[in-house]
A and B are shown apart, each in its own frame.
Chain A
């Protein structure tokens, strides 16, 4: 597609439920990133995928968080047993490889845990 697409755009879930957030990157981009932005906070890195390499999961805050990327394209971020502190905007981005390249963000998935 023309840009990074994320769904759902908004999600309200009950504490303890599992949620899945989807990201469809820009066609041809091999790198995919997930970030979290809590209210009034900066961007917190979660996970990075590059091609067929093992993902960099160093930013995942707990084992309740996981992500996969199927076929080198679409990615799903899963949060199990959601907690209220998981409420945030989850931003996905993609880019061609090489650190000099611009990364392009989706509009984000706004998650509210009640």
Chain B
């Protein structure tokens, strides 16, 4: 079965500093991994995904994520945080042999001015 875990409920970072939101996965086979963002009172928006190929994936709004097979991680990163990046971030992966994505519990990112 494939699942994801987000070990942090909340991440705080100062504007202009780099940010990292962590995600680890457990996999049987090749992983498909996704990051989504949810702004207040909105639905989820797709940020980026890893299917195969380069371990560094670039996505929307300047975000990127690094697939690390040895550490079974897919951490979301951004070199310089903006206050407007404050939101809830979800890591996701299809579960088991199905096409149904399961989501991590979410990490609240707070960027302080």
Total A residues in contact with B, Cβ cutoff 8 Å = 25
Cross-chain contact A48 with B44 (CB below 8 angstroms): no
Say how far A93's CB is from chain B's closest CB, in angstroms: 8
Total B residues in contact with A, Cβ cutoff 8 Å = 21
- CB within 8 Å of B: which residues of A? 4, 31, 33, 35, 41-43, 45, 48, 50, 56, 91, 93, 95, 97-100, 102-108
Cross-chain contact A100 with B98 (CB below 8 angstroms): no
**Which of B32, B44, B104, B105 is A100 in contact with, Cβ under 8 Å?**
B32
Instruction: A105 to B94: give the CA distance in the assembly, Å.
Output: 16
Cross-chain contact A107 with B104 (CB below 8 angstroms): no
Say how far B8's CB is from chain A's closest CB, in angstroms: 13
With A42-B104, A48-B99, A56-B98 in contact, is A102–B34 under 8 Å at CB? yes
Q: Mark B30-46, 1 if CB is under 8 A from A, else 0.
A: 00101010000011111
Cross-chain contact A103 with B101 (CB below 8 angstroms): yes
Beyond A42-B105, A93-B44: 7 further Cβ-contacts under 8 Å? A42-B106, A45-B100, A97-B99, A99-B32, A100-B32, A100-B51, A107-B42
